[in-house]
Amino acid sequence: MAATTQTQVLQDLSYLLGETTIPTSIADRDDYIQKALERIYRAYNFPMNMVQATFAINNGVGTLPSNVGQDGIIDIRNVVVGAFNDNVYQQVPYQQYDNYQTNDFAYYLLGYEGNYTIYTSETTTSYVATILYTTSVPMINASITTPFPSSMCIALGALKYYRLAEDPYTDVQPYETMYKTELNEVIAAYNRNRAQKRGIGRAEQEGTYTGDITTVGAYVGNAGNE
């Protein structure tokens, strides 16, 4: 699927405004387009902005990739060959972090989007972890694109801001409705084409089963420390 360029969105926005060409002075439109794109990324976890990467953890501390979005972490693990062998990390509140020890694979985060540091309970070794995450919103321009497939959807989102700038008291609901209709069509297309997977519960993901007391025993011992 081809990436969407800022020029394509500007052209669509110009057509919506009854213009045949893109004006030369359009800094405000660039900003409206960026704000509309940010709304789109918040609206749905599109597969097109899910990324898998690796990063180093040294003595329990690591720096996440710079394009990890806010609340964008889906999964962090140490990949081990074979089924049900991966060590999957669990995010815990900082206040409870002291209740976990080596091989609990617990972590907490500090920092902000673009600059996250991870602190894990695995402080005795250094290794490479695998992370699946949704990316931060790209700052699109003439050379930086977005994988979101609908330039018209972005243009419709920007159109609302453009009309508000013209008249803060204008009724923008028609523009909002058109934007949401276009966005929902894109989301529906993704859902329609996505393979339907069998649901896998937490126990199966971690190689255990309901009633398995040998696996949960370690956590029972920690319960009194919370």
pLDDT, one tens digit per residue, over 71-126 is 889 999 999 888 888 999 999 999 999 999 999 999 999 999 999 999 999 998 88
Alpha-carbon radius of gyration of the chain: 23
In the numeric block, the tokens 């600059």 are attached to 115
Using 50, 70 and 90 to split pLDDT, how confident is the model at 168?
very high
Question: At residue 134, what is the residue type?
Answer: T
Comparing CA positions, the residue from 92, 125, 127 lying closest to residue 109 is 92
pLDDT, one tens digit per residue, over 191-216 is 887 766 666 777 776 777 777 776 54
CA distance 141 to 127: 37
Q: Supply 75's token pair.
A: 């999964």
Strand partners, 151: none
